[in-house]
């Protein structure tokens, strides 16, 4: 495992991003909000490591939704602080990689560009251009701008490894209905955008890989647009029933999500494929609003799901672990991070 380089270097042309040799072996992770990081989380991770579990990745996740741009700007400012530097050094000392997973589109293409470039933005079902979400993926100027901004964002994030998780806007039904985009599925439109984002990131890190986040109305694979080399599948079954295994065909919700797995893996392949689960996601449990509720924890389901996903070829298993910070622990006790990590074996 390599360490983490915090500051940019002048001579390697990669802004301090270093190469890990462990990524292809598969990794287990947990994703927490960046505003929840503290020595408390280092303690949770240290406990999990000391118990011999294989937790390899900590990913930071700025809050999504309508305020995703502000959240991402908050992370970018946080990265500059001594406290953040200390935190990332401690993560590296535990032998863990640091990654970022977040909705980036509204940061990459700021909404106020609409005043000057309405054609960059999507046409809604009523035929009106709107800056509410995503963009027109047939507009070359918009894609060029997006590619440059993506390179800039990648240069601002001191991560270890080559895996990037820059997601589109967190809004269903946000496809472009213009005459040129109309024939493309939502997944095809997303694939077009993601391919351009990878080109941008590779200006900063030539070995970068980027996820296609399969969830909500992007959960079916694209039909017309092929992924460029370096795109990998990230599968996030947000509509599932967490109290029952994904492989349970009698669970209607899980069967509806699981039906996409075979076509997704056929389309994207298993290389670098990652599951992004909700097993430990207390923000989902709280419907992304305070007050906290106690996290429901289903160890048998996690164990069954981990075996199921691995049997399909997923080497990377991870879960949201948001809303489980210090405030949560004060109210409900230490969350089952060690137990979770042990179940991923």
- Under the rule (CB under 5 A), what is the footprint of Zn ion? 136, 138, 176, 178, 181
Q: How far is the CB of 64 from Zn ion (least distance, A)?
A: 23
What is d(CA 9, CA 108) in angstroms, rounded to the nearest whole number?
A: 24
Q: How far is the CB of 180 from Zn ion (least distance, A)?
A: 5
Q: Can you spell out the DSSP letters for 182-214?
A: TTS-HHHHHHHHHHHHHHHHHHH-TT-EEEEEE
Query: Considering beta carbons, is residue 122 or 163 the nearer one to Zn ion?
Result: 122
Query: Considering beta carbons, is residue 152 or 177 the nearer one to Zn ion?
Result: 177
Q: How far is the CB of 154 from Zn ion (least distance, A)?
A: 25
Closest of 210, 218, 305 to residue 254, by C-alpha: 305
Query: Considering beta carbons, is residue 175 or 240 the nearer one to Zn ion?
Result: 175
Q: How far is the CB of 212 from Zn ion (least distance, A)?
A: 19
Q: Which residue has the tokens 């946000």?
A: 174
- Tell me which H or E stretch contains 101: strand 97-103
Which pairing describes strands 28-32 and 316-320: parallel, antiparallel, or unpaired? parallel
Based on the number of CB atoms within 10 Å of its own CB, is 40 exposed (0-12), middle (13-18) or buried (19 or more)?
A: middle
Query: Considering beta carbons, is residue 2 or 185 the nearer one to Zn ion?
Result: 185
Q: Rounded to 5 degrees, what are φ and ψ at 200?
A: -65, -45
Query: For residue 236, what are the contacts with CB-CB under 8 A and spacing of at least 6?
Result: 213, 214, 215, 275, 276, 277, 278
Query: Considering beta carbons, is residue 14 or 174 the nearer one to Zn ion?
Result: 174
What is d(CA 22, CA 19) in angstroms, rounded to the nearest whole number?
A: 9
Q: How far is the CB of 172 from Zn ion (least distance, A)?
A: 18
Q: How far is the CB of 309 from Zn ion (least distance, A)?
A: 35
Q: How far is the CB of 134 from Zn ion (least distance, A)?
A: 10
Cα–Cα distances (Å) from 42 to 147, 209, 301, 313, 338, in that order, read 35, 27, 26, 30, 12
What is d(CA 107, CA 95) in angstroms, rounded to the nearest whole number?
A: 31
Query: For residue 128, what are the contacts with CB-CB under 8 A and spacing of at least 6?
Result: none
Q: How far is the CB of 179 from Zn ion (least distance, A)?
A: 8
What is d(CA 345, CA 334) in angstroms, rounded to the nearest whole number?
A: 21
């Amino acid at each position: 495992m390599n360490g983490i380089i915090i500051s940019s270097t002048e001579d390697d042309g990669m802004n301090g991003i270093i190469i890990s040799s462990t990524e292809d072996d598969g990794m287990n992770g947990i994703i927490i909000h960046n505003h929840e990081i503290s020595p408390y989380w280092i303690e949770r991770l240290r406990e999990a490591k000391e118990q011999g579990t294989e937790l390899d990745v900590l990913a930071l996740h700025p809050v999504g939704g309508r305020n995703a741009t502000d959240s991402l700007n908050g992370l970018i400012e946080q990265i500059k602080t001594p406290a953040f530097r200390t935190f990332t050094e401690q993560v590296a000392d535990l032998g863990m990689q640091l990654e970022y997973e977040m909705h980036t589109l509204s940061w990459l293409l700021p909404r106020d560009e609409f005043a000057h470039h309405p054609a960059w933005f999507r046409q809604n079902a009523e035929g009106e251009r709107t800056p509410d979400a995503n963009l027109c993926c047939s507009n070359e100027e918009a894609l060029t701008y997006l590619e440059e901004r993506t390179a800039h964002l990648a240069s601002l994030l001191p991560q270890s490894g080559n895996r990037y998780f820059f997601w589109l806007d967190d809004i269903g039904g946000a496809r472009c209905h213009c005459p040129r985009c109309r024939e493309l599925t939502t997944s095809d439109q997303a694939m077009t955008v993601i391919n351009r984002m990878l080109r941008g990131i590779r200006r900063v890190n030539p070995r970068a890989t980027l996820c296609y986040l399969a969830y909500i109305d992007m959960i079916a694979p694209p039909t017309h647009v092929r992924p460029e080399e370096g795109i990998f599948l990230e599968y996030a079954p947000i509509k599932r029933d967490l109290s029952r295994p994904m492989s349970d065909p009698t669970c209607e919700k899980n069967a509806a999500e699981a039906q996409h797995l075979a076509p997704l893996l056929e389309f994207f392949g298993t290389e670098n494929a990652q599951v992004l689960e909700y097993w430990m996601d207390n923000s989902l449990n709280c419907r992304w609003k305070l007050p906290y509720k106690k996290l429901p924890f289903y160890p048998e389901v996690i164990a069954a799901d981990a075996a199921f996903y691995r049997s399909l070829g997923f080497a990377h298993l991870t879960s949201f672990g948001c809303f489980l910070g210090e405030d949560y622990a004060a109210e409900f006790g230490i969350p089952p991070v060690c137990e979770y990590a042990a179940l991923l074996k």
